[in-house]
C-alpha cells in the first residue's frame, strides 16, 4: 500500500485527469463528477466492473491492468491508498513530475466551495450517507455527493448538484478524512478497525476526535457505541447524539424487527414512528443518525424521518440478486465482525423459517488475524457457513494467516465448511440449500462475483 504524499500541492485546475485504481466506489464517484464538469478522464483498474462500465458510458477511457502506456499525458493523476508502491503508472507520473494527489485531496478540492457533510465510522457509513442524500433530494435540495455505493433510488454513487450542500462518505482507514474542510460530521460508530495502520485503539479514537474537532458547525455521534463514547470525551465542538441511550438528542425506542424494521424516534418533545424499507435494528440506528444530521442542518424533524424512511438501500447491502429452485441469493458488503453480526441479524428477520447460508470471504490478513475469534462467533448466527480464503487487497500475505483461523475458532465445526476454491464453495453452498433458504455472499472483496456461479449451481442441483 502506498503512503500518499499529502504535501503535494493540489492544482488549482485539474485539467485532464488520470485515475489509477478508478474502479473503486470513491474513485469512480470523483471521476463521474469530473466528467460532468467537462474534464477529460482516463483511468485504469485491475478488473472490469459495473463502475468501470458506467464511466466508459460517460466517455472515460478506462484500461484494465496497470501499465506505463496507460498513463498518457494527463495534467493531474489521482490515486488511492490501495495501490502498491511499485505501480508502473504511479511511478511514471512521479518521474514525469505530474501532480499525483490522493483521492481525498481531489474530493476536498471539489467540495471546497460548498457546505460539507462528512459521514465517517467503522460501519454504516454508506447507508447513512445514502439516507442523508436521498432525504435532502426529497426535501427539495440538490446536493453534490460521493457515496461508497450506488444509491438505488438515484442509480449512481455520485453527482454534482447545484445546491450549497456536499455530502460524502469519509474514509477513516488511512486518516485521509482529516483533509476535508467539514462543516458537519456524522460519526456512526468507532468500532476498532484498521489497527494495522493506527497501531492502537487509543490512536484510532484520537483520529476520530481530530476529525470531529475539525467540524466547523456540528458533530453528530452515536450515544451507544463504546468507541464513540470514548471519542465524545475528546470532542470540543457542539454535539448532537443519536441512539437508544436515554440522554440521546435523537432517541430510538420500540424497535421491532421483521422483514422491514420499525421504530420510534424521540426529539425534544416530539415522538414520530417509521417503518423502513430495510431490515435490521442497525438500520434503525443509521436512520436516527441521518435524521439527527438533518435536524442539525435545520430541517423539520418529522419531514426528515418521513423521507429517510423511504430510502431504498444501496448496492451490496443485503441485495437480492436472484432465485433458483426457491433459494434466494443475496450479497452484502459486511466485512467487520460488528457489521457481519448486524447483517446476519437483519437477514434472520427476513429468512423466517428457512436456513441462512453465509458464504464469507475474509478481507485483509491483519483483520483476519486480529478478529478470527470474533468472526467465528458472529458467523455462528448463520445456519451454515461456507468459508473462503482471505481477500488480500492492499496487504502482503502473512505466514500462517488463512481463512482456517476462523474455522479453528468455530464452536460447531459441523456447520462451517472451508472451501478456498470457488467452484467447491458454490457447489457446497448449493448442496446445503433447499427451497425457502437464503444464501448470502458476504465480504468487501470480490466475493460478489460468485453470485452468478451460485445461481448456476442451484439451477443444476
Per-residue pLDDT tens listing for the chain (461 residues): 667 677 888 999 999 999 999 988 889 999 999 999 999 999 999 888 888 999 999 999 999 999 999 999 999 999 988 788 899 999 999 999 999 999 999 999 999 989 999 999 988 889 999 999 999 999 999 999 999 888 988 888 899 999 999 999 998 877 778 889 999 999 999 987 655 655 688 888 999 999 999 999 999 999 999 999 999 999 999 999 999 999 999 999 999 988 789 999 999 999 999 999 888 888 999 999 999 999 999 999 999 999 999 998 887 777 778 889 999 898 988 888 888 888 888 788 777 788 999 999 999 888 899 889 999 999 999 999 999 999 887 677 888 898 889 999 998 999 999 998 889 999 999 999 999 999 999 998 889 889 999 999 998 87
- Take residue 217 and report the three cell numbers written for it: 458547525
Q: What pLDDT sits at residue 118?
A: 97
Residue in the block written with cell 478497525: 193
Q: Which residue range forms the structural domain that includes residue 59?
A: 17-101
- In this structure, are 303 and 325 located in the same domain? no
**CATH number of the domain residue 382 falls in:** 3.90.190.20
Of 308, 331, 361, the last residue of a domain is 308
Q: Are strands 319-324 and 270-275 parallel, antiparallel or unpaired?
A: unpaired
Whole-structure pTM value: 0.79
User: How far is Cα 274 from Cα 309, in angstroms, rounded to an integer?
Assistant: 6
Burial class (CB in 10 A: 0-12, 13-18, 19+), 154: middle
Residue 204 lies in a domain: yes
- In this structure, are 97 and 197 located in the same domain? no
- In this structure, are 162 and 300 located in the same domain? yes
- In this structure, are 297 and 367 located in the same domain? no
Angle at 240 between CA 236 and CA 245, to 5 degrees: 115
Which residues are registered as beta bridge partners of 319?
A: 331
Supply the residues annotated as catalytic: 125-126, 169
Of 101, 128, 158, the last residue of a domain is 101
Q: What pLDDT sits at residue 193?
A: 62
Residue in the block written with cell 433510488: 153
Q: What pLDDT sits at residue 351?
A: 78
CB 140 within 8 A of CB 163: no
**CATH number of the domain residue 274 falls in:** 3.40.1190.10
H/E element holding 375? helix 365-379
Q: How many domains does the chain have?
A: 3
- In this structure, are 238 and 143 located in the same domain? yes
User: How far is Cα 82 from Cα 446, in angstroms, rounded to an integer?
Assistant: 15
Amino acid at each position: 500500500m502506498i503512503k500518499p504524499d499529502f504535501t503535494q500541492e493540489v492544482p488549482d485546475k485539474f485539467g485532464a485527469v488520470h485515475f489509477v485504481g478508478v474502479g473503486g466506489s470513491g474513485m469512480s464517484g470523483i471521476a463521474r463528477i469530473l466528467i460532468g464538469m467537462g474534464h477529460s478522464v482516463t483511468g485504469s483498474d485491475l478488473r472490469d466492473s459495473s463502475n468501470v462500465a458506467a464511466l466508459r458510458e460517460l466517455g472515460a477511457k478506462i484500461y484494465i491492468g496497470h501499465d506505463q502506456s496507460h498513463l498518457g499525458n494527463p495534467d493531474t493523476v489521482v490515486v488511492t491508498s490501495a495501490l502498491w508502491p511499485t505501480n508502473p503508472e504511479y511511478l511514471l507520473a512521479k518521474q514525469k513530475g505530474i501532480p499525483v494527489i490522493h483521492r481525498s485531496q481531489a474530493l476536498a478540492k471539489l467540495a471546497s466551495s460548498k457546505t460539507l457533510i462528512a459521514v465517517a465510522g467503522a460501519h454504516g457509513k454508506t447507508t447513512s450517507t445514502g439516507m442523508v442524500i436521498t432525504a435532502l433530494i426529497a426535501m427539495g435540495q440538490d446536493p453534490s455527493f460521493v457515496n461508497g455505493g450506488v444509491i438505488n433510488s438515484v442509480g449512481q454513487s455520485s453527482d454534482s448538484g447545484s445546491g450549497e450542500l456536499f455530502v460524502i462518505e469519509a474514509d477513516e482507514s488511512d486518516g485521509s478524512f482529516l483533509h476535508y474542510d467539514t462543516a458537519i460530521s456524522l460519526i456512526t460508530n468507532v468500532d476498532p478497525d484498521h489497527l494495522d495502520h493506527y497501531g492502537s485503539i487509543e490512536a484510532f479514537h484520537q483520529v476520530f476526535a481530530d476529525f470531529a474537532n475539525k467540524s466547523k458547525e456540528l458533530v453528530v455521534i452515536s450515544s451507544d457505541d463504546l468507541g464513540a463514547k470514548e471519542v465524545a470525551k475528546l470532542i470540543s465542538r457542539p454535539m448532537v447524539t443519536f441512539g437508544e441511550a436515554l440522554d440521546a438528542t435523537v432517541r430510538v425506542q420500540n424497535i421491532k424487527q421483521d422483514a422491514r424494521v420499525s421504530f420510534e424516534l424521540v426529539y425534544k418533545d416530539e415522538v414520530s414512528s417509521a417503518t423502513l424499507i430495510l431490515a435490521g435494528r442497525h438500520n434503525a440506528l443509521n436512520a436516527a443518525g441521518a435524521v439527527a444530521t438533518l435536524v442539525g442542518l435545520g430541517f423539520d424533524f418529522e419531514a426528515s424521518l418521513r423521507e429517510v424512511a423511504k430510502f431504498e438501500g444501496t448496492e451490496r447491502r443485503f441485495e437480492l440478486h436472484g432465485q433458483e429452485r426457491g433459494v434466494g441469493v443475496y450479497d452484502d458488503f459486511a466485512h467487520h465482525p460488528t457489521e457481519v453480526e448486524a447483517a446476519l441479524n437483519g437477514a434472520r428477520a427476513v429468512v423466517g423459517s428457512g436456513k441462512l447460508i453465509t458464504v464469507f470471504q475474509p478481507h485483509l490478513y491483519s483483520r483476519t488475524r486480529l478478529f478470527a475469534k470474533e468472526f467465528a462467533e458472529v458467523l455462528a448466527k448463520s445456519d451454515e457457513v461456507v468459508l473462503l480464503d482471505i481477500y488480500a487487497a492492499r496487504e502482503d500475505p502473512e505466514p500462517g494467516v488463512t481463512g482456517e483461523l476462523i474455522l479453528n475458532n468455530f464452536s460447531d465445526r459441523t456447520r462451517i465448511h472451508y472451501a478456498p476454491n470457488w467452484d467447491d464453495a458454490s457447489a457446497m453452498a448449493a448442496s446445503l440449500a433447499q427451497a425457502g433458504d437464503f444464501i448470502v455472499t458476504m465480504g468487501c472483496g470480490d466475493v460478489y462475483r460468485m453470485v452468478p456461479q451460485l445461481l448456476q449451481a442451484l439451477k443444476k442441483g
